[in-house]
Amino acid sequence: MSEKIGLVVCGNSGIDYMTLNYPVKVIRSTLNLDGKEYEDYVDIQAKDFYKMVEENPDIDVSTSQTSTGKIASVYEEMVAEGYTDVIVIVISSKLSGTYQGAILAKELVKNLNVYVLDSRSVSYGEAYLALEAIRLIKDGKKTIDIINHLERVRDHVYIYVLVDTLKFLVKNGRLSATSGFLGTLLKIKPLLHVQKDGRLVPFEKIRTTHKAQSRLIEIIEEKIHEKNVIMFIAYTNNKEKAEELKEIFLKKRKDITVELVPLTPVVGAHAGPGTLGVGYIEI
């Protein structure tokens, strides 16, 4: 029997903000703002969320991942639509329990081959894997070959993150760091990066925002030197700053593409307003 391959991607990828040429099902997390629940992207979008947090800096913000039952019902929809195989691409398992939920949901559904891929990434780093999956599905590739390709691509995604304050990451337990380091980090503008295993960890301690941005540009330019890459900049409430950085990178490297993507509210709830993520994929 020939394969009919479906694709499920979690909303933390920001895939909702992209135009896709393949039917993709999105599993979305929930944002809790001052006791009210919002489904990411459906009930609240990036621009409105950051505006709300800017206006109410002490607003009570938390998030909850998609329930296992909800993920299973998405799988059931895939069965009903005649899919034999489903590739599920999710945010780094070190940043969310979505991966675990997607694995558990497999047990609840019959007659479907489910392959859950831990992107070990977030935002465009995760979305790019979905774009590659679409390309290969359309090329008629087999599921297992697509998974093998995505695993190879995953190892070539690099992300650096500049946060305005560590308040949100610390509060939500999303930062892997020693407590001694955290005490000093709270007073400065830290540069973070996503490790190969998908953890978000401190990279360098820097005193000012200006110095942190300059250092980030320096690191990226050094890393991508003479490499064939696609770059991306994920922004929060600072699209102008993202556009400025894009111009800086393009001046040095006219041959590259730099994608600008909004950081989805559920991810932004952990990173906080003022955050910028700059990444690249070696291709």
**Average pLDDT along the chain, 283 residues, taken 10 residues at a time:** 93 96 96 95 96 90 94 98 98 96 97 98 98 97 98 98 82 59 65 94 86 95 96 97 97 95 94 94 96
pTM (2 decimals)? 0.94
Structural domain spans, the chain: 5-29+65-154, 157-282
Which CATH code for domain 157-282?
Answer: 3.30.1180.10
Closest of 5, 2, 56 to residue 33, by C-alpha? 56
Predicted local distance difference test score (pLDDT) of residue 175 = 65
CA neighbor of 29 nearest in space, from 270, 219, 195: 270
Instruction: State the fold for domain 5-29+65-154.
Output: Rossmann fold (3.40.50)
Q: What pLDDT score does 185 carry?
A: 58
What beta strand segments (E) does the chain contain? 5-10, 24-27, 30-33, 36-39, 61-64, 85-90, 113-118, 157-162, 189-194, 200-206, 229-235, 257-262, 276-282
pLDDT at 58: 87
**pLDDT at residue 186, as a whole number:** 61
